[in-house]
Structure 1
Amino acid sequence: MKLYDLSVYWESNSFAEPWPPKVEFSNSAEEAVKLADKLDIHPSDFQDGLALAVENVSAQVFTHIGTHCDAPIHFGPVTEGKPSRTIDELPLEEFYGNGVILDMRHKEPRSGITVEDVQKALADMDYIIKPRDIVLIMTGFDKHIYTESYLRDQPGMTGEATEWLIDQGVKLMGIDTYTFDRPFGAMVADVKAGNKSALFPAHFIGRKKEYYHIEKLANLDKVPVKHGFIFSAFPIKVKGGTAGSVRAVAIVE
């Protein structure tokens, strides 16, 4: 059995996040001084004069940083006529199951991944989607995470392709890009050209039919098989949260 890490780093990388986290590290010696002051003791009271190293992380948008899962409440307040579920309300069983990787590395920058694209990828590997399969979209854009292209040029899922997968019984999907939809600039350009439905069509399908998706996956190309493996990505338990960070892993026997 081999495990493949499919997550990106939490780091201060402005290429990867419009609002990047600020990560400040404090080593054991620095923390000895800080903690000693709080506890009214001397830094030398710690063994070897060293306390516990920590880091402080601050961000404008916490739960949507790094590899994370968007919950239905992120898409809108109502899903299928009922209050949308939050990240802590989603069953853990949905985050461990059969993984399927669809290769979309041929897609043009800023383009939409269509139903036909999805069906062709499945046909090419002679695979039929089963209910509760976890479908992962491989664009290869994780390789651009330290360049301006990462936020600007990624392809993204269309609403129609997302809905088609939901109709096959898929509840959890994922993609190796910043957002599940096309990049912000591409959507905004279409809206300004008169297409009012261009904003977040893949996200907003979640108002009509419940599903969840993981954004900012990585290393899908490292997984040696396109199906027949286990995908695991349990979200952190943010009470009432719109999203939760995950450590995504492919498990190959």
Structure 2
Amino acid sequence: MKRLWDISPTVSPASPIFPGDEPYSLRWTAQLGPGCPVNLSALTMSPHVGAHADAPLHYANDAASAAEVDLDAYIGPCRVIHAIACGPLIRIEHLMHAANALPERVLVRCNERADETWNPAFTAYAPETVEWLAAQGVKLIGLDTPSVDPADSKTLDSHQRLLRLNLRVLENLVLDEVPEGDYELIALPLKLAGACASPVRAILRKA
């Protein structure tokens, strides 16, 4: 079998989240015992906890929800590009060393190790980089930080580029052990009616 890279962090109450977002919690609604043959649990969390796919509804009213996005972008050939310690924004020059014949999916590793606590100084995408990737035929971008826009952005310029260019995005990936190169990406969002995002179990398989 081809090697798999699990690029999803474990989701737990300790998962880092945007301040004010809903953390992960789990409670038991039934437990094995006399008269009960199963364990049952209930979850509460923002769909932006852990590895997730933003839906266009996250940054535009009346746009597609997680249940309504086409799935094609979330599965297929993908390139992982390293731009470790590139600074606050991923710029075009940080990707040029691996830009020949880009596939339709590009994930950028910004960190030596994924953050395990909230870090507001995470790396995001420069809006012009989103534009450039779309011009190369890319349909999905991703990264190993919480957002394609800086934590303090009020205009969400890179998210707005995603909307205008009809790109999909994966955030909060874990690329710590993934070498640069080409893979097959599988990261399907759940069919959550009305949701602004969806958790994904994102994996890479060697091309």
TM-score, L = length of structure 1: 0.72
Match in the other structure for 1:210: 166
Contact kept in structure 1, 2:15 and 2:24, CA below 8 Å: no
The counterpart of 1:21, out of the listed 20, 23, 37, is 23
Is residue 76 of structure 1 aligned with residue 76 of structure 2?
Answer: no
- 4+ aligned runs moved over 3 Å, structure 1: 14-17, 24-27
Contact kept in structure 1, 2:140 and 2:167, CA below 8 Å: yes
Distance 1:157 1:85 in 2: 22
Is residue 237 of structure 1 aligned with residue 191 of structure 2?
Answer: yes
Match in the other structure for 2:35: 45
Task: Point out the structure with max Rg over C-alpha.
Answer: 1
Distance 1:237 1:154 in 2: 29
Question: Gaps spanning 5+ residues in structure 1: where?
Answer: 33-42, 78-82, 189-198
Distance 1:98 1:104, change over 3 A: same
Match in the other structure for 1:98: 77
Question: What amino acid is the match of 2:107?
Answer: L
Match in the other structure for 1:128: 101
Question: Gaps spanning 5+ residues in structure 2: where?
Answer: none
Q: Deviations over 1:7-29 (max 9, x none)?
A: 012211264443242423449xx
Larger helix percent: 1
The counterpart of 2:44, out of the listed 41, 58, 78, is 58
Question: What amino acid is the match of 1:202?
Answer: S
Q: Deviations over 1:120-143 (max 9, x none)?
A: x325xxx3214xx21001011753
Distance 1:72 1:44, change over 3 A: closer
Report percent identity of matched pairs: 24
TM-score, L = length of structure 2: 0.86
Is residue 118 of structure 1 aligned with residue 102 of structure 2?
Answer: no
Contact kept in structure 1, 2:15 and 2:116, CA below 8 Å: no
Contact kept in structure 1, 2:81 and 2:108, CA below 8 Å: yes
Distance 1:22 1:91 in 2: 27
- What is the aligned-residue RMSD (CA, Å)? 2.4
Distance 2:142 2:196 in 1: 16
Match in the other structure for 1:12: 13
Question: What amino acid is the match of 2:92?
Answer: V
Query: How many residues are paired up?
Result: 205
Q: Deviations over 1:39-85 (max 9, x none)?
A: xxxx5234xxxx422333223xx2222211012222213xxxxx633
